[in-house]
Amino acid sequence: MGDERHYEICVEVNGVARQARVPARKTLVDLLREDLELTGSHVGCEHGVCGACSVLFDGEPMRACLVFAVQADGHKVTTIEGLCRPDGSMGVLQDSFCESHGLQCGYCTPGMLIAAQGLLQRRPDPSEDEIRDAIGGNLCRCTGYQQIVEAIQLAARRAGAGER
């Protein structure tokens, strides 16, 4: 594509090493969606506010629209697709969102799941305030957040009871 310099990168995405050849300005979220055809991560604002693009980067939630793909070279990324079980079925967190009606249009959902996953990894038994703080950087226009909070609370209870 024109004269723009491209870079060879290798990023471990959902446990699999993925190669790509990208211009420096391509963001991580665009790499995931376009080059790797993982369209589960969504683009909402491209300036780091809405959180729809959130992924786990080296295990921690980050906005993938604010990471250049070249910066992800050598790092590990988990997307919403990677939250599924190895056989492709839903994990407890995803299932809890379904049970609690924690989504409507589904557009912010990947980011919410990533933020929730990041929280529950560190705080398996979060308070409601901690949940709202953890998703405070993920905007949703459908749900008013109520059932999302309930979904995360349910997931925490189920995980606490030993469900995997």
Partner 1 sequence: MKPAAFEYERARTLAGAVARLATHGSDAKLIAGGQSLVPMMAMRLLRPTLLVDIRELDELKLIRIDADADTVRVGACVRQSEALEHAALGEAVPLLAKALRWVGHVQTRNRGTVGGSVVHADPCAELPLVVRVLDAQLEACAASGSSLIAAREFFTGPLSTALAPEACLAAIHFPRWREGACGCAFEELSIRHGDFAIVAAAAQLALDAGGRCTRVVLGVGGAGPTPLALERAAAGLVGTRLEDAAIDATAEQASRDVEPGDDQHASADYRRDLVRVLSIRVLRAARSEARGQSQPGGA
Partner 2 sequence: MADDVTPTFKYIGQHRRAKEHPRFVTGQGRFAADIALPGLKHVALVASPYASATIVAIRVDAARAMPGVHCVLTGEELCRETDSLLIGVDAPEVKRYPLAAGVVRYAGEWVAAVVADSRALAEDAAECVEVEYAPLPHVVDPERALAADAPCVHPAHGSNVLYRRAFVWGPVDEAFSGAAHRLAYRARWGRSATVPIETFVVSAEWNAANALLEVWASIQMPKFPDQTARALRLPGNAVRVHFDVDVGGSYGTKRGIKHAVLVGYLARKLRMPVRLIEDRLENMRGGDMQGPDRIFDVEMAYDADGTVRALRMRALDDVGAYAGRSPLQLGKPVGAICGPYRIPAVAYEPISVMTNKTPQEAVRGFGQAPTNYALELGMDKVARALGMDRLALRQRNLIRKEEFPYLIPSGSTYDSGDYHTVLDKALASAGYDELIAERDRARRGGRLAGIGISTCLEPSGGNSAFEPLFNPKNQTTTWMDSCLVRVDLSGAVTGVMHTSTAGQGHETLVSTVLGEVLERDPASIRVVHADSLSALPSNSPVGSRMAIMLGGAAAGAAERIKERLMAIAAHNLGVPREALDYAGGAVSVKAEPARTVSWDQLVEIAHRKFHQLPEGMEPGLQAAFVWEVPTGGALPTADGRIQMYPCYAFEAHVVYIEIDPDTGQPTIRRYAVGHDCGVMINPDIVHGMTYGGIAHGIGAALYEKFSFSDDGQLVSGTFMDYLIPSALEVPRLTIVDHCTPSPLTSFGQKGSGEAGYLGGPAAIACAINDALGPLGTSIEETPMKPLALWGRIRDARARLKRVA
> Which residue ranges make up the site for partner 2 (CB under 8 A)?
1-4, 23, 25-26, 33, 37-47, 49-50, 52, 79-81, 83-84, 88, 90, 94-95, 97-99, 101, 103-110, 113, 128, 131-133, 135-149
Burial of 129 (0-12, 13-18, 19+ CB in 10 A): exposed
Q: What is 2-47 written as a DSSP string? A: TT--EEEEEEEETTEEEEEEEETT-BHHHIIIIIS--TTS--S-SS
Q: What is 102-120 written as a DSSP string? A: --SS-SSHHHHHHHHHHHH
For residue 140, which amino acid is it?
Answer: C
- In this chain, which stretch among 13-21, 51-59, 100-108, 153-161 interacts with partner 1, using CB under 8 A? 51-59
Cβ proximity to partner 1: between 90 and 121 the closer is: 121
| 48, 106, 144, 160: which one binds partner 1 (CB under 8 A) | 48
Does residue 145 touch partner 1 according to CB under 8 A?
no
Does residue 163 touch partner 1 according to CB under 8 A?
no
Q: How far is the CB of 63 from partner 1 (least distance, A)?
A: 6
